[in-house]
């Protein structure tokens, strides 16, 4: 077994992809012509978005992500050496700030934002392993 995908169900796949490009500096791998599925270039573990209606088509039921309600109980975390700049870029691109970058007792700098769909995104520095 291998962890291969994180797929987030969203209202509007193309605008979410565009948002992730401008807010987090990622690039798109592909957007399906139906506009109901797209992947970002994230290496071995794919971050993908699917239209909310895909859930219904697959017989699933989900609680749609919504900026006006509390976020669902999970987050995605991006790691960068320059948390301050990444946080600033994300907020300028339209993310809602949840907590500003601050240094944790274990030496990691951590910040949180919510994306255009209300999903929780952590922007943090890597945890140093050689201390």
Q: Which residues bind to other proteins, rule: CB under 8 A? A: 9, 36, 51-53, 55-57, 59-64, 66, 68-69
Q: Between β-strands 46-51 and 28-31, what pairing exists: parallel, antiparallel or unpaired?
A: unpaired
Residue 119: closest CA among 50, 65, 43: 65
- The nearer residue to other proteins, 1 or 63, going by C-beta atoms, is 63
Q: What is the side-by-side strand order in the sheet with 120-124?
A: 76-79, 120-124, 109-114, 96-103
Backbone phi and psi for residue 18, each to the nearest 5 degrees, phi listed first:
-60, -40
- The nearer residue to other proteins, 22 or 69, going by C-beta atoms, is 69
Nearest distance in Å: CB 35, other proteins: 9
- The nearer residue to other proteins, 9 or 87, going by C-beta atoms, is 9
Nearest distance in Å: CB 77, other proteins: 26
């Amino acid at each position: 077994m291998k962890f291969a995908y994180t797929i987030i169900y969203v209202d509007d796949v193309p605008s979410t992809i565009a948002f992730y490009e401008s807010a987090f500096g990622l690039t798109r791998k592909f957007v399906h012509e139906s506009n109901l599925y797209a992947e970002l270039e994230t290496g071995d573990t794919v971050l993908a978005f699917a239209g909310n209606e895909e859930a219904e088509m697959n017989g699933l039921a989900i609680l749609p992500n919504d900026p006006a309600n509390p976020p669902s109980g999970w987050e995605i975390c991006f790691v960068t050496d320059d948390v301050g700049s990444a946080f600033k870029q994300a907020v300028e691109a339209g993310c809602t700030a949840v907590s500003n970058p601050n240094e944790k007792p274990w030496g990691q700098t951590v910040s949180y934002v919510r994306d255009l769909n209300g999903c929780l995104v952590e922007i943090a520095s890597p945890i140093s392993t050689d201390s």
